[in-house]
Amino acid sequence: MEPTARSRVRRLAERAAYDPATVEGILDAGVVAHVGIAWHGAPVVIPMAYARVRDTVYVHGSTASRIMRTLKTGDAMCITVTIVDGIVLARSAFNMGMNYRSVVIHGHARLVADPAERMTAFRAIMDHVVPGHWEQVRAPNEAELRQTLVTAVTLDEVSAKVRVGGPEDEPEDMGLPVWAGEIPLRTVADPAVADDHVLAGVDPPASVTDYSRHFGAGDAF
């Protein structure tokens, strides 16, 4: 993935990555994408579920939503996915920060009209959030399909940015009597809680009881 004028990272460029393995790994580990559009001349950013299928990222939503109505026009849009891995505490306020992995995608979404591709997107998004759960639920019916728009954007203009490690203090601050280091963060799933109306004798499927998503190197949530 060669960077373009829009996707090239300029601030702290040494943290940038453009290779597919890094970009796709972050997209696959994330849960929520923030999708940005221009709405009547003003920026709007909405958190959305998403999924990556090869070099394409899908999102879906109601036909009545402003973000989906805008995306289907093909106007310029942006998608960001961020995973915070830790809080970095430095000896100075200026050098405090975070360890993170992020991806920024620039592009123009296309409306997905093909029924087979639409169903692929529906399944991919559910299985991205809860792996294997598509097989446990009723598939969308015709009325639900008519109420839902699906859009796709390819990973043509994309960049990743990653920070790891401890604080980067100034040499003159190293002797200060201040604790410095990292508070690692990770997302952990608690035991599932059944809805009050689950029928008697219906047990949670393996997609629920064994819920575990790859979140990062050696971590799961």
pLDDT digits over 111-155, tens only? 999 999 999 999 999 999 999 999 999 999 999 999 999 999 999
Least confident span in 65-74, 116-125, 141-150, 208-217:
208-217
- What pLDDT sits at residue 218? 40
- Give the span between the Cα atoms of 46 and 39, in whole angstroms: 12
- Give the span between the Cα atoms of 133 and 59, in whole angstroms: 18
**87, pLDDT greater than 70:** yes
Q: Can you tell me the mean pLDDT for 94-120?
A: 97
Residue 159 φ/ψ, nearest 5 degrees? -145, 150
Alpha helices, H only, the chain: 20-29, 66-71, 115-129, 142-146, 206-209
Residue extents of the structural domains in the chain: 13-212
Contact assessment for residue 185 and residue 84, using Cβ atoms and an 8 Å cutoff: yes
The 8-class DSSP code of residue 203 comes to: P
Q: Can you tell me the mean pLDDT for 199-216?
A: 85
**58, pLDDT greater than 60:** yes
- What pLDDT sits at residue 215? 52
Nearest 10 degrees: Cα torsion 207, 218, 7, 153: -10
3-state SS class at 20: helix
Contact assessment for residue 45 and residue 33, using Cβ atoms and an 8 Å cutoff: no
**216, pLDDT greater than 80:** no
- What pLDDT sits at residue 53? 97
Task: Please report which confidence band the pLDDT of residue 2 belongs to, taking 50, 70 and 90 as the band edges.
Answer: confident
Contact assessment for residue 57 and residue 8, using Cβ atoms and an 8 Å cutoff: no
User: Model confidence over 154-200: pLDDT tens digits?
Assistant: 999 999 999 999 999 999 999 999 999 999 998 888 899 999 999 99
Residue position matching structure tokens 């598509």 = 134
Q: Which CATH superfamily is domain 13-212 in?
A: Electron Transport, Fmn-binding Protein; Chain A (2.30.110.10)
